[in-house]
Amino acid sequence: MGTIVEQIQGIPLNHYLIFCSVIFAIGVIGVLIRRNVIIIMMSIELMLNSVNLLLAAFSAYHGDASGQVFVFFIMALAAAEVAVGLAIVIMVYRNTKSIDIDSLNKLRW
């Protein structure tokens, strides 16, 4: 365990911060511009996992375990959320035969 923390600390904290922010931004942009629901869900996962990585990095740097525990919460709840989300996508696919978000236009934006 000690070695892992040392390895994480071998990289400056700012690098983690910038790296995770970039991944998060890619996720946000993906949600906003992609039209395929599966890819949107992947982008959301990207956002959540960048948060996980950043939490782990902060946790290792500050020597505080609660950040890593929070990562487990995020993983568990993200899994539950995606399970429901995929069920919704399947329901939509059965009705429209498409997973393109533009095929759903019954409601005005």
CB neighbours of residue 20 within 10 Å: 20
37 binding other proteins? (CB under 8 A):
yes
Residue whose pair of structure tokens reads 């983690």 in the numeric block: 16
Residues 1-30 that bind other proteins (CB under 8 A): 17, 24, 27-28
| Displacement of CA 21 from its chain's centroid (Å) | 12
97 binding other proteins? (CB under 8 A):
no
Give the DSSP letter of residue 11: S
- Can you tell me which of 8, 26, 39, 89 binds other proteins, judged by CB under 8 A? 89
Residue whose pair of structure tokens reads 């533009």 in the numeric block: 102
Contact 68, 42 (CB under 8 A): no
> Which positions touch other proteins (CB under 8 A)?
17, 24, 27-28, 31, 37, 40-41, 44, 47-48, 50-51, 54-55, 58, 62, 64, 66-67, 69-70, 73-74, 77, 80-81, 84-85, 87-89, 91-92, 95-96, 101, 104-109
